Structure 1
Amino acid sequence: MELLQDYGLFLAKTVTLLAALGFALAMMANAGRSRSRSREQLEVEPLNRRYRDMARRIDQGLAPRRGRLKGLRERRRERREGRRGEARLPRLFVLDFEGDLRASATEALREEVSAVLATARSDDEVLLRLESPGGTVPGYGLAASQLARLRKRGIRLTVSVDRVAASGGYLMACVADRIVAAPFAVIGSIGVVGQVPNFRGLLKRYDVDFELHTAGAHKRTLTLFGENTDEGRAKFRESLQAVHDLFKTHIARHRPKLDLERVATGEHWLGEQALELGLVDDLGTSDDILLERRERMDLVALRYRRPQPFSRRLALTLESLAARLGLGGGHLEE
């Protein structure tokens, strides 16, 4: 009895300690989330000032000392006078989207789009600097829907592709009123891929059985460890084709003049080829657009910052790497 009492006391202390530790960890996690939320913010940067400062630095560097002092006095007078009485110039809101497998930048994009819609006038525009090789269907579908919100409100949208907008990236880009691509940017890849590694042969070699039970004829088509059937493969391909058809319908809605039979083959093209095919409207870089608009528009860069824990960033990196190596877990990618 004494032994049982000692054991019960020890067990009670252990449970209490574990409960206290769990409570402490939960409190720390909540505090971390609260700090993260408190650091969430929308950053606003006026870009016209950056270009004016660049030009002035060059002028100052080349001007003689007397000229530099004169220029400094003139700039001080300009700042004092400001732009009193001048009408508000149309604004060009500049957004950035750097895509990964899950289109995780959509979280920031939706906040930035909401901020634009809350303040934009009918003569304002949006420039999205887009870079993405594509990824999951739901992720990029939602990102494209965020851009469609701008179109529905009549806000003109230009997408600039300096390096790559392929697959899910092009799903987003085609929503724009105008697509501008650098001559060697990668464009297109209008296709869908699904990949599932199968380890059944390895399990059989070591006499390991695997059972999979489902309710519903097509709850699982292809599996990681079970035996894949011809019927399952056919259903999987049917699902791929359905997503591809929806992808093509989406593009046809926004770019009706495209020859989809020619471009929706999963191939990608460089910028100059994409222009000939009608996938983009002009050749150039995002820098060209900003320099061209800086005299007649206020350039405003918006960045919604939401810190992510290291574990999430690491998971996204490893997931993207696995997908590119063909080790994905059965998701569909555009």
Structure 2
Amino acid sequence: MPYLATMSWYDPILDRVRSRPPIVSVVPLRGVIGSLGPLRRGLSVDAVGPLLQAAFRPRSVTAVALVVNSPGGSPAQSELIAGRIRDLAAEYDKPVIAFVEDVAASGGYWLACAADEIRVTPTSIVGSIGVISASFGFQDAIARLGVERRVHTAGSRKSLLDPFRPEQAEDVEHLTAIQQEMHARFIAWVRSRRGDRLKPEDEPELLEGKFWTGARSVELGLADGEGELRRTLRERYGARTRFRVLSRSPGLARRLGLAGADGPGAADGALAGLADGLIGAVEERALWSRFGL
């Protein structure tokens, strides 16, 4: 009898636990991957790591949703962020679903592949499984301006790919070898995450750097289906599903590199921050424009 009495005392608590709505943590992964300067922060493992930890840790969380909108960027940061997602998914035993907005291309697709499932909109851009390096050559321009380039190195190849000198075949060969190594690692990651959802007959075309619409990416096995986050997850977990949206928003002073600075060098820091931000904005614009955005 005491046992039955104890159980009856716990029943209301158990009922309340059972009646709690499912909770899904939502982590936005939007923007260029890597450093863009203090004014325009890119995605990095240092920046999004705490958000991911907060998304997975609560026992009440049923699943984690990644909102991906990225044209790519740093291969190293793509790999680090994706690795952190997989480590946390294994540690806390929670499913991960990626929802692609405008673009999950190059490093953005690397991040999407960290999920157990990828959902897209029909007009999303998906893929671009490749590695790219772009620069300019200014040697003729500085010659016309009468500018003399002075570079002193210890190491005969230290000035490799200097944009103010004529391009050297051996430099390009070295860069190409690095790109091929990174591309092979990218391909291995995609194959490990997508498995037999990728058809062998399509693989050569899929892995050469092309990108596709969301609708076509589903047919090719790059994504698992179409679906908007709230509608998809409420259909799956119930109409009462709640969403915990995590975000990062540091102050303008920190983005300018001025946090804690009020001495004579503060203005110089602001100007340097603005210059870095402008350069970062140009680089970011170039990445987005590759996909017509």
TM-score w.r.t. structure 1 length? 0.65
Moved over 4 A (4+): 323-326
Calculate the aligned-residue CA RMSD, in Å: 2.8
In structure 1, what is the equivalent of residue 56 of structure 2? 117
In structure 1, what is the equivalent of residue 139 of structure 2? 200
More helix as a share of residues:
1
Whether the aligned pair in 2 keeps the contact of 1:166 and 1:190 (CA below 8 Å) is yes
Return the letter of the residue paired with 2:246: L
The yes-or-no answer on 1:322 pairing with 2:288 is no
Which stretch of structure 1 is more off in the superposition, 258-267 or 182-191? 258-267
Deviations 1:175-225 (A, max 9, x none): 110000001111001111111212111122234332333334543421121
**1:241 alignment partner, SS class:** helix
Q: CA deviation at 1:283?
A: 0.9
**1:243 alignment partner, SS class:** helix
Distance 1:281 1:316, change over 3 A: farther
In structure 2, what is the equivalent of residue 93 of structure 1? 25
In structure 2, what is the equivalent of residue 137 of structure 1? 75
Return the letter of the residue paired with 2:231: D
In structure 2, what is the equivalent of residue 158 of structure 1? 97
In structure 2, what is the equivalent of residue 127 of structure 1? 65
The yes-or-no answer on 1:281 pairing with 2:220 is no
Q: CA deviation at 1:145?
A: 2.3
Paired-residue identity, %: 27
The yes-or-no answer on 1:311 pairing with 2:264 is no
Distance 1:171 1:320, change over 3 A: farther
Distance 1:304 1:208, change over 3 A: closer
1:16-165 → structure 2 map (5 Å cutoff)? 85-87=16-18, 88-102=20-34, 104-106=42-44, 107-120=46-59, 124-153=62-91, 154-165=93-104
Whether the aligned pair in 2 keeps the contact of 1:196 and 1:222 (CA below 8 Å) is no
Once residues 169 and 126 of structure 1 are traced to their aligned partners in structure 2, the CA distance between those partners, rounded to angstroms, is 17
Q: CA deviation at 1:298?
A: 3.8
Whether the aligned pair in 1 keeps the contact of 2:33 and 2:78 (CA below 8 Å) is no
Whether the aligned pair in 2 keeps the contact of 1:221 and 1:236 (CA below 8 Å) is no
1:167-246 → structure 2 map (5 Å cutoff)? 167-216=106-155, 218-246=157-185
Q: CA deviation at 1:316?
A: 4.3
The yes-or-no answer on 1:255 pairing with 2:194 is yes
Whether the aligned pair in 2 keeps the contact of 1:97 and 1:129 (CA below 8 Å) is yes
Return the letter of the residue paired with 1:319: G
**2:57 alignment partner, SS class:** helix
**2:98 alignment partner, SS class:** strand
Q: CA deviation at 1:272?
A: 1.1
Deviations 1:16-71 (A, max 9, x none): xxxxxxxxxxxxxxxxxxxxxxxxxxxxxxxxxxxxxxxxxxxxxxxxxxxxxxxx
Once residues 32 and 277 of structure 2 are traced to their aligned partners in structure 1, the CA distance between those partners, rounded to angstroms, is 8
**2:247 alignment partner, SS class:** strand
TM-score w.r.t. structure 2 length? 0.73
**1:93 alignment partner, SS class:** strand
Deviations 1:122-151 (A, max 9, x none): x72101111111112233233222322233
Distance 1:120 1:99, change over 3 A: farther
